Structure formats: C-alpha cells, structure tokens
A and B are shown apart, each in its own frame.
Chain A
Amino acid sequence: MIKEGTFGPAEAIVLLALSSLSRGFLSYPRSLVEIAGPAAWMTPLGGLAVALVGVYLISLVFKRNPGYTIIETTEQAFGPFIGTALNVLIVVSAFEMVGALFLREFSEAMLTTTLRFAPISIIDFSFLTMGLLGAYLGIEALARTARLIYLYVLAGLLITVLSLIPFWNFYNLLPLLGKGVSRDFLHGTYATAGIAEVILAAVIVQAMGGVKNFARIGYISMLISFGILIVLLVTLVLTYNWPISEEFTLPFLRLYRTIYLGRFFQRPEAVFILIWSVVGALKISLMLYGAAVSLARSLKLPEYRPLIWPLGLVMYIIGLLPLDMPAAVNLDVYLRGFVLIPDYLLPLLILAAYWLKGRGKCAGS
C-alpha cells in the first residue's frame, strides 16, 4: 500500500481551508460579483450548504467501507472496469484539470502584476517545480507547511479587511438581493459549490486519520473556507461598488493596492504576492499529489512518486493550452461545473450502487 504518513485534524483543517482559499485570490470573486451584483456575498451560502451535504454523503460512503479511500470504494461499488474508468476519467482528470488551470491562472496573475516582461513558461515552471517538490515530499510535509504559514495568510487577509475600513461605503451592499434571488442562489450555488477540496479530502482520508475524523474535518474546513470567501466578497463590494468590482481582473490584488494608511504605508501588494505565491504553490502541490495518489491507487501501484513527474508535465502542458488570459478565465467557469461531478455526483452514484447491491443481495439471499 502507499505509505502516506499521517497528520491530525488540526493540520488537515488548515490544509484544506488554505488550499480552497487560493481561488479567492484569482479572478473568481469577479465572476461572483458578475453573477449576483451587490449580493455577491450571498452566493457562497448556497455553495456552503451543498458542500456540507457533499461531505456528509462522502462520510456515509466511508461508513460502509472504512479503511479505504474513495478510489477503492468506487472500484468495490462498480466493479473493476467501470470503477477504474470512473476513477481515472473523473477523479484523476478533475485533479489534473484543476491543477493545470490554477497553474495557468496563478502564472498569469503573477505576470499581470509584477513580472510583466517575463515569459510565462518560466513562472509556470517555477510553480511546477514547487508543486513537484511539495508532492514529492508527501502530504505530511504539505500539512506541516500549511500549519506553519496559515497565521501569516490570515494576518494578510485581516490587514486587508481592516485597512480598508476608511473606504467602506455600506450603501454599496444595497439593493439587498442583488440581481435577483434566482441568480443569487441558483446560479451562485452552481458557481461556488465546485470546490476540489471535497474530493481531495476523500482521497487523502487515510492520511487524515481515517473515517472517524473525516466528517468533522470536512465540515470545519468547508465552513472556514466559505466563510473567508464571504468576508472577502463583502469587503470587495463594500470598498468598490459592484459595477467596478465586475471589472477587475484580480479583485483581491486591487483591494490590496487600495490600502492607504497615511503617507508611509501604501500599496503593500508585494507582501500580497508572497502570500499568494505560497498558497498557490500549496494548492498546485496538493492537486498534483491528489492526481498522483489517486492514479496510483486506481492502478494498484505500490508507490505514487514515479507518477509525479509525468502528471506534472501534463499539467504544465495543459496549462499552457488556453490562448490568452480571458480564455483561461472562461475555462474556469466550465471547470467549476466539471468538478461538481466527482464532488457530489460520484458519492451519490456510489451510494446508489450500494443500495442496489443491498437490494439485490436481499432479493438474492
């Protein structure tokens, strides 16, 4: 079996929360404001509910089959062919796609803000190297790293929120329901529920201490990540009214650039770059690790480390495929829908398969 190392719930929660925070640093809040207008902060509420339900479903799956991750469970539920096919096509490819897209988006963001004259391949390569190193050293090292840096990330977020208080205009939150209830909640839920950490938690469940901790870890980390996203969106709309917020490529960066606490403390966006790069590297490592581990488990390989380099290379190449940055951002929209499949559809199918088998067994015996 693949030796993974273990870490406790405190680190697992921080790891999952930090990794899901990374999407708030990219152009994701902008699309949420585009969906819901001034009520952008309501959109993650629906996503939060769906994510909690998804965690519950996966914990039900694990209760029937403790001691294994979701990869083995899929195979046991569907049989060898369909199970492996589902695993590779859905789970592994979801990790690969998310990783590739995040790689591209982080590099694009870095190019837009600081290193404007660098070729994208260098920055992609740097992120990829960090991802390879992180995935190679294993999930335990990644969890410890997350535990070490989360305070600084939270401090950066807190500084952003607090320093912008002079610019807040509470009337920006009106009209309260934004662009309509259906757009807020339905469309918004569709956009926010696709979070790759749910399936990641299902894949690394053995390293997190097994099934007994899984539900608690899942709930708390989802609450934290969606909570921080809501705070971020509230700050964004409060500081800039929603027609302007729709325009920014990188809203969080724009917020950081607005900080003005007197003559000496202005534009500390370079500090933001530090936080952002480290969180991005963490996310890419996790996606690469998830892809490698799930591929290794579905193909019954004893070690996942040889798979890291090929999968990383594939991520790099796929990441370079979109032609320009708006294309990459648009792909993000489709990806959010795609990630819903392994997150929520797969556990439902597994539960349905178990239920059918149970009925079949009852009927048979």
Chain B
Amino acid sequence: MSTLKHLLKLISYQENTDREGFILEETANDRQTAQKSGPSSESQAAPEHGDNKEKAPAGRRSFKKPVRPSGKANDKTKKRKDSGRSGEENPDQESGQANGIKQAEELSVSASLAENREIVGKLYGLPENKDIIVRDIAIGTDPVIEGFAIFIDGLVDKSVQDLLFQALMLFAARPVPPGKGKLASYVKERLLPGNQVSVRTQFRDILDAVNYGDTALFLEGCAEAVLVETKGWEHRGVDRPTVEQVVRGPQEAFSETLRANTALIRKLIKNENLTTEFLQVGARNRVHVAVMYLRDLANPALVAEVKRRINSIKTDHIIDSGVLEEFIQDNPYNLNPTVMATERPDRVAAGIFNGRVAIIVDGSPFVLLVPVTMYEMLHTGEELYSRWQLGTFIRYLRALAFNLSFLLPGLYLSVVLFHHEMIPTELLLAIAGNRERVPFPSIVEVLLMEISFELIREAGLRIPGVIGSTIGIVGALILGQAAVQANIVSPILVILVAVTGLAGFAIPYYSLAFALRIYRFFYISLGAALGFFGIAIGLFTQIILTANLKSFGVPYLAPIGPRTVTGADIVTRLPVFFHKKRPDYLNPQDIKRQPDVSRGWIGHKTGGKDD
C-alpha cells in the first residue's frame, strides 16, 4: 500500500513551494568523505548553502589540493560569495605585507613626540627612504611647543607649505596655548591657514594622507596629529582629447588628477545636487575612486549598486580605470563592453544629465560611465552639437560602417566560394580573372591581408611620432601595391580590407571597435566553411548573445531590444525640441527633460517667458 501511495504522490499535483531554487541534499556518502578530508579553518567561515557541494568533491579527489601558506584554497569560494559582503574574515588579503603595517591598523598617535618619531621612522623605513622629509619645528606660541612635520617631497606644494610653516613659526603676537587636550584643535582652528585641515589619531589615516601629499603635524604632548592639505605634484594640464575628437564641440579632456577631473565635470554641471562620493579601492595602493551623480535624478538603486560593486573589490592595486572596469562589469566573458570609458567631460556631463553615474579613478584620464547601451557607444558629441540632419546622416553612415566592419570579409568569402550566382557576371569574371594569378586559396588570401592589416595597425600605434607617417605610407602603398604586383593578393581584396579597416575606424568607441575586429575573424571562418548559412549562424548567435547582455541592470540593446519608450535620439536624431523625455530604461527620478513647447518664441511674439 505504501508503494502505491508513494507512486500516487509522485504523480499528483503539488504546489511548488520551493521558490528558492535547487538544493542538492547531502547524502551519507558525502558526509563521510567530508569528514575524512578534515575541516579546513577557512571553510568554517564559509556560508550556508552549497557548502557540502564544495567539500564533497574535495574529499573525492584522489590528490589533495596543495595548501598555500595563507590558505588561498578558499579564495575561489570566497570571491563567488563575497560580492555582497565587505569581507571581515579575509586575513590572506594582506598576508603579503610586512607585519609592521599590520600593526599600523591598530596604532594611534601617542602623546610623546619621540615615540611618534620612532613609529613614523619604522613605518616609512627611515632613514633609507629619502623621499620622506621630517621637519622639526617649534610653534611660536608662548611657551614654545615642539613638534615635527612629515611630508613626501615631490607630492607637496612648496609654496603652500611655506605659508604653513610661516604661520606656525613666526608670530607677531605670541598666543597662549590651551590645555593639553585641546592643543590640536587649537592649532587647527587658530593657527593654521591651510584650506583643508583635519585632526586624526589613527596612524592608518595619517599614512594615507601623507602618501597622498598632505603634511602631518605632530605636536609634543598631543595624542592627535594635524593633517594639512598641501597637495601639489607634477601633472599634465587640461589637454585636447587624443582619442575622441570632434569637429564641433568643447576640446577639453580629462587628465590624471582626480580633483582636476571632478572640477571639469563641476564646471559643466553647476548644480547643487551633483554629488561626489569618494571610495577607496585597493589594498596596497588605496586609490581614490570618485562616484558622481545627480542626487535628484539618478536612480538610487543604481547608485547603491555601483557603490556596492566598487566597495566589494578586493585586490592589490588598481592602476587605471580599465582595470576597475573589468572588476565591476556584468559579463566579463562577452566580447562586447558594457561600461563606457570616455575622456571628454562634456560626454560625462551629458550622461549624468540623463541619469547615469560617472566613476572617476585617480590617475586615469578615462572616466567610466554606467550604465550604457550599445547605441550610446555609437554616439559622439558630433551629432549632439551639430544640426540634426548632419547628426542623422552621420549616424546612418556609422550604422553602415558598423555592419561593414565585421561582415564584409566574411560576405566576400562566402560569395566567392559558395554563391557565385549572386554577383553580376562581369564582376565575377573580373574577380575570377584577377584571382587566376594568385597562388593561394581565397581564405588564405583574406587571412593574410587581414593579419597584415592588423600588424600595420598595431605597429602604427607604437611607432615614435617622427617616423610614424612615413611608415604609414610605406605600409599602405608599398605593401599593398607590391603585394598586388607580386600576385600574392588580388587588387579587389586590397580594397576590401582597406574598406573594412576604415569602417572599423569609424566606430567611435575603441573597445567596441576591438570587439568587432575579433568578430570579423569568426565571420571569416564561418563564411568560408558554410557560406551564407555560416554567416547566418554567426549573426543569430551574436544577436542573441548581445541581446541577452545587461549593463548594470539595463538591457544592452535597449530601447530597441526590449521595446521601451522610443527615444528621440537612437539612430535617427530628431530636432532638439523633440527630446522631451530622458531615456526611460535608466529609470531616472524625473523623466521629463523639457516641456512640450520648448521654444517659447514660436507662439509668442514677445518671447516666451515674459508673458
């Protein structure tokens, strides 16, 4: 009877209450093998589910994983589950650093000046470390207070420091210092003229500040240090954009200094709601990352997500925004980029005005903008700042270039190899006649030309500027011409590869153009293997994989992929007075950009606003 009941239960309708998902139950076998392998210290801290799944295969393996000095075996599991937490139990992250630094976390400023001097000397490796300057001063109060200032030569602005020391050491009237406890704040409020002054007790903060260019002032008898902002180092000024050039529009570009970059954005967005939040990423090189957004416009969930992802990154150092991009992007295995990097402040400002979030990494002239769709990557400021007809024309041309840049060689191969009937007879006979003399099969010819084109391109980037243009002429003319005359390639192919290359250059965003370059090789192999059917396979796969992509929650091909509200500015650019709404796939807090009638002078004879 019980088996019958069991059978009946199997095939009867039961509400599926399990909303969570799939949980693999631990069998007795798994439990035994898990116990045999012994508990490792880190896996205690591993969270609830999937735990047995990880342990069981470890036990069943015939050999054990080598145990690294700091137990790095758990890194993989940690990284997978760590995206949400800020990770308290990660001792191995800083295992490489010296023990001294470990203690810097816990050290705080002591009241004795000599002890402070000793600690600072140990932390910085004085006296071998010649960059760090320790300047003993005596503050000109009555009585004199001893102290020393510590700063890094090369990172400080000497004139500001001069003023600082002048203010501290030379007084016309000698003020009286207050009691011991309030010395630092007294100095900060009364004596120091620097424009950003803060008081700190932990050595970690002091070290961070001094590493960044501040001057730390230690005073006798004070258990706090005063940090004065004296940043001033050699940097490149605001220059013209090198990668994204437009004919009409502003010609400023970001530089490597974080403050200069935020200032450039602030210059364009003079709004009190523009918020800049600072985050720090990196263990050995705590680089500052600024997140900028409009508080009353950007979706708060988006901002929270951006901050969550950046805060959860645990790595050694981040040099450029490109590295940060790879850490926070949604789908790192897909060829298409999902984060946009730009060096133009006007583009960032336009993005922020639409509700996007800008991420600025100190030391990188490329600012990240999230979220982004593929159509955004194909826009430049050229169309925004010129008239709409020009913009529309350029966009259609660019759409053609986009398609040509990865499809053209594949289509040529499939037509020449499989579908001879598609081209007019005269063209076919011309191609055939030219190919009579070429000793290679078509696909070898195409690959040869493509690879040499890529070589020329890469070489062109690395050549020192003086001989750069000459090599360009050498590469293009001599290689191409000579190859044709030596009957290695047919002239039609030279034109084809040149047009493909040009079409690739017409794509404004470098990462996307690079993705298309790689797609081109896939299409070449598919076209040569299966003709137009192969191209169709490639197209279907590419379209569906790209349509599935998301960039910070926004579908990659919005507003056409999923059909959201029609934008006025995707491919065809409508006149500016039609852009009434922001793109709604970003879910900003305020969707209206301008009212229906944005040109007041149309209806009224005396101007719109005065009536």
Binding site for B on A (CB under 8 A): 1, 7-8, 10-11, 75-76, 80-81, 83-84, 110, 114-115, 118, 123, 126, 129-130, 133-134, 137-138, 140-145, 147-149, 263-264, 266-271, 273-274, 276-278, 281-282, 300, 302-303
- Which residues does chain B contribute within 8 Å of A84, judged by CB atoms? 11
Sample of 14 A–B contacts (CB below 8 Å): A114-B418, A115-B531, A115-B533, A144-B547, A144-B548, A144-B557, A144-B561, A145-B540, A147-B560, A147-B563, A148-B547, A277-B533, A278-B536, A282-B540
Q: Contacts A1-B19, A300-B14, A303-B22 known; A148 to B561 CB distance under 8 Å?
A: yes
Q: Which residues between 543 and 565 of chain B lie within 8 Å of chain A, taking CB atoms?
A: 543-545, 547-548, 555, 557, 560-563
Tell me whether B547 and A277 are in contact (CB under 8 A): no
How far, in whole Å, are A240 and B582 apart by their CA atoms in the complex? Answer: 51
Tell me whether A80 and B544 are in contact (CB under 8 A): no
Q: Contacts A8-B562, A84-B11, A269-B421 known; A145 to B543 CB distance under 8 Å?
A: yes
- Which residues does chain B contribute within 8 Å of A130, judged by CB atoms? 537, 540-541
Mask: chain B, 85-112; 1 = CB below 8 Å from A; 0 = not: 0000000000000000000000000000
How far, in whole Å, are A142 and B541 apart by their CA atoms in the complex? Answer: 11
11 additional contacts, CB 8 Å, given A80-B11, A130-B540, A266-B421?
A: A1-B16, A75-B13, A123-B533, A141-B547, A144-B557, A144-B562, A149-B543, A269-B421, A274-B536, A281-B536, A303-B22
A11 → chain B, closest Cβ, in Å? 6
Tell me whether A264 and B424 are in contact (CB under 8 A): yes
- Which residues does chain B contribute within 8 Å of A274, judged by CB atoms? 532, 535-536, 539
A213 → chain B, closest Cβ, in Å? 13
B326 → chain A, closest Cβ, in Å? 23
- Which residues does chain B contribute within 8 Å of A145, judged by CB atoms? 540, 543-544, 547
How far, in whole Å, are A142 and B540 apart by their CA atoms in the complex? Answer: 10
Name the contact of B544 in the complex, choosing from A1, A115, A133, A276 (C-beta under 8 A): A133
Say whether B21 faces chain A, with CB atoms less than 8 Å apart. Answer: yes
- Which residues does chain B contribute within 8 Å of A303, judged by CB atoms? 21-22
Say whether B247 faces chain A, with CB atoms less than 8 Å apart. Answer: no
- Which residues does chain A contribute within 8 Å of B530, judged by CB atoms? 115, 118, 123, 126
B378 → chain A, closest Cβ, in Å? 15
Q: Contacts A114-B419, A145-B540, A270-B422 known; A302 to B547 CB distance under 8 Å?
A: no
How far, in whole Å, are A281 and B540 apart by their CA atoms in the complex? Answer: 8
The residue in chain B whose Cβ has the minimal distance to the Cβ of A126 is B537
- Which residues does chain B contribute within 8 Å of A281, judged by CB atoms? 536-537, 540
- Which residues does chain A contribute within 8 Å of B560, judged by CB atoms? 147-148
Say whether B405 faces chain A, with CB atoms less than 8 Å apart. Answer: no
How far, in whole Å, are A144 and B547 apart by their CA atoms in the complex? Answer: 6
Tell me whether B562 and A134 are in contact (CB under 8 A): no
Tell me whether A80 and B421 are in contact (CB under 8 A): no
- Which residues does chain B contribute within 8 Å of A278, judged by CB atoms? 536, 539-540, 543
Say whether B239 faces chain A, with CB atoms less than 8 Å apart. Answer: no
Q: Contacts A80-B12, A84-B11 known; A11 to B563 CB distance under 8 Å?
A: yes
Say whether B335 faces chain A, with CB atoms less than 8 Å apart. Answer: no
Say whether B120 faces chain A, with CB atoms less than 8 Å apart. Answer: no
Tell me whether B544 and A141 are in contact (CB under 8 A): yes
Number of residues of chain B lying within 8 A (CB) of chain A: 37
- Which residues does chain B contribute within 8 Å of A123, judged by CB atoms? 530, 533
- Which residues does chain B contribute within 8 Å of A267, judged by CB atoms? 421-422
How far, in whole Å, are A270 and B541 apart by their CA atoms in the complex? Answer: 19
Tell me whether A277 and B562 are in contact (CB under 8 A): no
Say whether B611 faces chain A, with CB atoms less than 8 Å apart. Answer: no
The residue in chain B whose Cβ has the minimal distance to the Cβ of A149 is B543
How far, in whole Å, are A140 and B547 apart by their CA atoms in the complex? Answer: 9
How far, in whole Å, are A278 and B533 apart by their CA atoms in the complex? Answer: 9
A154 → chain B, closest Cβ, in Å? 15
Q: Which residues between 7 and 52 of chain B lie within 8 Å of chain A, taking CB atoms?
A: 11-14, 16, 18-19, 21-22
Say whether B116 faces chain A, with CB atoms less than 8 Å apart. Answer: no
Tell me whether A11 and B540 are in contact (CB under 8 A): no
How far, in whole Å, are A143 and B561 apart by their CA atoms in the complex? Answer: 8
- Which residues does chain B contribute within 8 Å of A110, judged by CB atoms? 533
Say whether B415 faces chain A, with CB atoms less than 8 Å apart. Answer: yes
How far, in whole Å, are A264 and B562 apart by their CA atoms in the complex? Answer: 38
B159 → chain A, closest Cβ, in Å? 59
B539 → chain A, closest Cβ, in Å? 6
A134 → chain B, closest Cβ, in Å? 6
Say whether B414 faces chain A, with CB atoms less than 8 Å apart. Answer: yes
How far, in whole Å, are A303 and B22 apart by their CA atoms in the complex? Answer: 8
Tell me whether A302 and B532 are in contact (CB under 8 A): no
- Which residues does chain B contribute within 8 Å of A300, judged by CB atoms? 13-14, 16
Q: Contacts A141-B544, A274-B536, A277-B537 known; A115 to B418 CB distance under 8 Å?
A: yes
Name the contact of B548 in the complex, choosing from A10, A141, A147 (C-beta under 8 A): A141
Name the contact of B21 in the complex, choosing from A76, A263, A302 (C-beta under 8 A): A302
How far, in whole Å, are A126 and B534 apart by their CA atoms in the complex? Answer: 9
B547 → chain A, closest Cβ, in Å? 4
- Which residues does chain B contribute within 8 Å of A264, judged by CB atoms? 424
Nearest 6 A/B pairs, CB to CB: A277-B536, A144-B547, A144-B561, A141-B548, A80-B12, A270-B419
- Which residues does chain B contribute within 8 Å of A276, judged by CB atoms? 536
How far, in whole Å, are A167 and B322 apart by their CA atoms in the complex? Answer: 58
A30 → chain B, closest Cβ, in Å? 22
Tell me whether B543 and A269 are in contact (CB under 8 A): no
The residue in chain A whose Cβ has the minimal distance to the Cβ of B563 is A10
Tell me whether A81 and B11 are in contact (CB under 8 A): yes
How far, in whole Å, are A3 and B418 apart by their CA atoms in the complex? Answer: 43
B565 → chain A, closest Cβ, in Å? 11
- Which residues does chain A contribute within 8 Å of B424, judged by CB atoms? 263-264, 266
- Which residues does chain B contribute within 8 Å of A147, judged by CB atoms? 560-563
How far, in whole Å, are A35 and B12 apart by their CA atoms in the complex? Answer: 46
The residue in chain B whose Cβ has the minimal distance to the Cβ of A300 is B16
How far, in whole Å, are A83 and B561 apart by their CA atoms in the complex? Answer: 37
B14 → chain A, closest Cβ, in Å? 7
Tell me whether A268 and B561 are in contact (CB under 8 A): no
The residue in chain A whose Cβ has the minimal distance to the Cβ of B422 is A270
Name the contact of A273 in the complex, choosing from B533, B557, B563 (C-beta under 8 A): B533
Interface centre among A81, A115, A144, A300 (most CB of B within 10 A): A144
How far, in whole Å, are A137 and B550 apart by their CA atoms in the complex? Answer: 13
How far, in whole Å, are A200 and B541 apart by their CA atoms in the complex? Answer: 22
How far, in whole Å, are A159 and B214 apart by their CA atoms in the complex? Answer: 70
- Which residues does chain B contribute within 8 Å of A1, judged by CB atoms? 16, 19
How far, in whole Å, are A96 and B117 apart by their CA atoms in the complex? Answer: 80
Mask: chain B, 416-447; 1 = CB below 8 Å from A; 0 = not: 00110110100000000000000000000000
- Which residues does chain A contribute within 8 Å of B543, judged by CB atoms? 145, 148-149, 278
How far, in whole Å, are A38 and B344 apart by their CA atoms in the complex? Answer: 64
Tell me whether A277 and B540 are in contact (CB under 8 A): yes
- Which residues does chain A contribute within 8 Å of B19, judged by CB atoms? 1
B424 → chain A, closest Cβ, in Å? 5
B491 → chain A, closest Cβ, in Å? 20
How far, in whole Å, are A149 and B13 apart by their CA atoms in the complex? Answer: 40
Interface centre among B418, B424, B536, B560 (most CB of A within 10 A): B536
